[in-house]
Chains A and B, each alone.
Chain A
Amino acid sequence: MDFPPSFILPFTIGLLFISVFLVIIIGIWISGLSRIDKSRIIHNIFTRKSLLAIRETFMESLLHRKIFRKNPVLGYMHMSLAFGWFLLIVVGHIDAVNHYQTFSVPAYKAIFMRYFVTETATTISGKILAASMDLLLLFVLSGVMLAYFKRLNSRIFGMRKTTKLKMGDRIALSALWLIFPLRFMAESVSAGIHHNGSIISQPTGQLLASTLPVQLLEMPLWWAYSGALGMFFLALPVSRYMHIPVEVVMIFLRKYGIRVQKRIDGYSRIQVYSCSRCGICLDSCQMTHAAIKDTQSVYVLKHIRNKNLTDEKLFNCLLCGRCQPDCPVGLELNNLRMTQRIESTKEYNSSYEYLKNGPIVVSPQTEVIYFAGCMTHLTPAIIKSMKEIFAVAGVKFWFMDEEKTACCGRPLMQVGQYEAAKKLIEHNRERILASGAKKLVVSCPICYKVFNEDYALPGITVQHHSEYLLQLMADKRLPVNKMPLRVVYHDPCELGRGSGIYHQPRLLLDEYAEVIPIKNEKEAAYCCGGSLANIKIQMNERNQIRDNAMEEYLGYQPDVLATACPLCKKTFAKSRNLPVHDIAEIVYMAIRQKNAERSGKTKTMKELKIELWGS
């Protein structure tokens, strides 16, 4: 029996090591899933969802479609490396199968085929495959070249920032960068010796043979190539390239309906390891407007992996979610941070034992429960507008938190106090259910999100007032009056990205004023900077974030900045450059103006503006 040459050892050892390692680690993670999640895998594995996962793996892990859309050069770089390498492996094996005329070709014979095959391809299929392999290697090399340039200057790629590397990453990165140039050199030298090769390796080989002692170089080059491969596999577990195998697993589990829970589990670990540290999330993070540059999602995930995350970084985040739509891997960045916050504050949860519900007496004709929220109590113009609108529409409502009510629980949840929040939730839930009303209208998106997601309220519709007012208007219970006001609408984080409500506020506003479309809106909308989720940020840093957003809005020269969140309103109102109003105030103002017209006391826009919010 022929023993294979010794240079295949580094590659073979590396491949064995990584295969065993991955099987074990992914096995541990999957066994750490909840029972429900495990049954999700069992129920879905032999369904169409697996096919969809394969498709997504192909589109995202290989073609990198999302990065392509955002930045074509960066997309090409990732695609040439990932898809190119993938094709090299696949086509290489086909080439080997074709050459040896057997399906049981060992991996090393395919990977190092040009070493073993000393004759020129004679069949047409052999020639085509050899040429394809040369072209594919060229394709990958072009990606490697781009990667070199990116390290030197990330700005060429339109990225303002890129991530820093640690030791394991450096080793893996160096190995990755060496693999393909070494393969090219080794193949070319062998081609030069044996006078074979294809469209690129043949001329390169001849050139090398005429200038260098190729016989002497052949063995060291194949060793080096195999060594680089082995080194890459060995360094993979401690490098960011772990994302390559783990992301595939993540895509399958996600397709099966598994999501990040409010605890650290196997899936949250899989998500953490799926981060490629591409750094795209850095560009969309507004914390950089306040010169805070070390708390972004990519760093937090890195620190989670390295087990050195500090509370200083964990809590210095607005949880605005602006990084999430940009993540090419589609990671649940906010939820992953939340798992850590819950873990970090476990011992501080208050019992709230003093909360006791007395008898709840609500008139049986009550149509709507109105919950303004603590923040709305700090912006009474919104409450006043809502009360007037209820009166105009003839809605019988119960003002649940008019005087004394527990907090909705969301601010506690945002800082990880999940157990404490559950107590508040249970307390409020009892009151809501006891009222007998079937609709809960909320003025604050922070409350809205928690009522919607974490309160079990069977038979009760929860609506933010922007949805509710739109419905009242559609039901012709509210008069319509389009005012000549130019309005920029600021999407509140918890309502927009947090709850997916982008259109209702715009549709409503459109009936009462002119909404100007702006660059950073909907999914890309700015955070006002006032978020309750950040307990580390300084006031002046909040102001910088707010001013940066305000500057863009002022560029559109609106009459009013409209929003649908009392906290956003309060945050922006502080900057004094532009009147800021909640959507409910604008509706109320329009109705008042219409009534004034009817009674013959038509007011000019200017008078109305002065009356409602000063000149």
Chain B
Amino acid sequence: MKHIVIIGGGIAGIETASALTDAGHWVTVIEKDAQVGGKLNNWSYLFPDFTPAENLAGSLVQKCSEKDFSVLHQTEVHSIQRQNGKFNITTSDEHQLEADAVVVATGYDLFDARRKEEYGYKIYDHVITSADLEQLLLPGGDLTVAAGKNPKRIAFVHCVGSRDEKTGNHYCSKVCCITGVKQAIELKKRLPEAEIYCFYMDLRMYGKHFEELYREAQEKYDIQFIRGRLSEASEKIDKSLLIKSEDTLSGRPLKMNVDLLVLLVGMEAGKGTANAAATCGIGCEESGFLKTTDSFLKSNFSEQEGIFLAGSCTAPMTINDTILHARSAAMEVDCWLKKQ
């Protein structure tokens, strides 16, 4: 029986583990947190159909308990050595594992919005990120702003830390446009009186049902989309925010007072992925995401033979894309092991 070690117990890691177990392999998942699911555990409802995130997280947990693979919780990889065609892996708690193949599924980090200081995240009281908002959107989440009032006017800023030369991230994070649309609708449902504005560069509604949801946001929920990037925000005495932008469709500078500002933060390769790249000796792209040997036919192959890649450690991905990429990783690992 071949042993496969998977680094990361998020969606990609668990999905790969599940598929490889089904194919008859012995699988161990190394997860740094106490629970599996990764960032999925931070979301409330998923785009584009508002499926509760806990449903999907629950099915991941179920797979862990039903299928015969083991998960080492609160564990990280310390080092990986290659010896006689096998990988000798030392974990942070000094465990030794021997593997025939390794799958890196370390995922992504969210862009730290403090790096876009002009938007005032952690400086102004009512500037939050899309990740913060997810928590507030759960039943019982407190959406009130200053003096316990509901926000009357809310603005979303797209592309915070994505497609932005100044933050050094040139790529598109793919999920934020539709996340913004989803969250705007959810807010409107909760706060029907509120005016909601989305400031975007362009909207990338490429996925199934995305465009429909965007249309619904405009027609049914009266959410205003303004093409223009926010230049800066400042806090007034009443803790409301004065934002400056340009409406590039009408070609005019624009100023607006809002009660809540939501920053749609993008994805970055993150520390886990950088560590995995270092311990596995595999290359990164300029963006920091892991390099695949071929963008069409070998999107699960790293530069090192026997080390495979799954999910958003290779590029920003939606949950759907991640699941598909993880399953394809399992298939590639299985084929490769059979050839050994």
Contacts and interface: CB of A to CB of B under 8 A. Distances in A.
A383 interface: yes
A547 B57 CA distance: 42
Nearest to B117: A379
A378 B112 contact: no
B31 interface: no
A55 interface: no
A384 B123 contact: yes
B123 A381 contact: yes
Contacts of A381: 117, 123
Contacts of A402: 234
Contacts of B124: 380
Contacts of A379: 117-118
Contacts of B123: 380-381, 384
Given A380-B235, A402-B234, A574 B118 contact: no
Contacts of A383: 234
A573 interface: yes
A302 interface: no
B120 interface: yes
Interface stretch (B85-93, B165-173, B317-325): B165-173
A614 interface: yes
Interface in A368-423: 377-381, 383-384, 402-403
A614 B118 CA distance: 17
Nearest to A383: B234
Contacts of B235: 380, 384
Nearest to A613: B114
Given A380-B234, A381-B123, A403 B242 contact: yes
Given A377-B234, A383-B234, A384-B123, A574 B167 contact: yes
A380 B165 contact: no
A379 B120 CA distance: 8
Interface in B200-259: 231-235, 242
A377 B117 CA distance: 9
- Interface size class of chain A, counting residues whose CB lies under 8 Å from the partner chain: 10 to 19
Interface in B111-128: 112, 114-115, 117-118, 120, 122-124
Contacts of B168: 543, 574
A127 interface: no
A377 B242 CA distance: 12
Interface string A559-585: 000000000001001101000000000
A167 interface: no
Nearest to B231: A378
Contacts, number: 40
- Interface size class of chain B, counting residues whose CB lies under 8 Å from the partner chain: 10 to 19
Interface centre among B117, B124, B167, B242 (most CB of A within 10 A): B117
A378 B232 contact: yes
Interface string B96-118: 00000000000000001011011
A573 B112 CA distance: 12
Contacts of B231: 378
A291 interface: no
B204 to A, nearest CB: 23
Nearest to A576: B115
Nearest to A379: B117
Interface in A561-615: 570, 573-574, 576, 613-614
Contacts of B167: 574
A573 B117 contact: yes
B118 A377 contact: yes
Contact of A573 (B115, B232, B233, B242): B115
Nearest to A375: B118
Interface in B257-284: none
A378 B118 contact: yes
Contacts of A20: none
A574 B167 CA distance: 6
Contacts of B118: 377-380
A520 B235 CA distance: 37
A574 B232 contact: no
Contacts of B242: 403
A1 interface: no
A380 B233 contact: yes
Contacts of A539: 165-166
Contacts of B122: 614
Contacts of B117: 378-381, 570, 573
B114 to A, nearest CB: 7
Task: Rank and list the top 7 A-B pairs by shortest CB-CB distance, nearest first.
Answer: A378-B118, A380-B120, A377-B232, A380-B123, A379-B117, A539-B165, A381-B123
18 contacts: A377-B232, A377-B234, A380-B117, A380-B118, A380-B120, A380-B124, A380-B233, A380-B235, A381-B117, A383-B234, A384-B235, A403-B242, A539-B165, A539-B166, A573-B115, A573-B117, A574-B168, A576-B115
Given A379-B117, A380-B235, A384-B235, 14 more contacts: A377-B118, A377-B234, A378-B231, A378-B232, A380-B120, A380-B123, A380-B232, A381-B123, A383-B234, A543-B168, A574-B115, A613-B114, A614-B112, A614-B122
Interface of A: 377-381, 383-384, 402-403, 539, 543, 570, 573-574, 576, 613-614
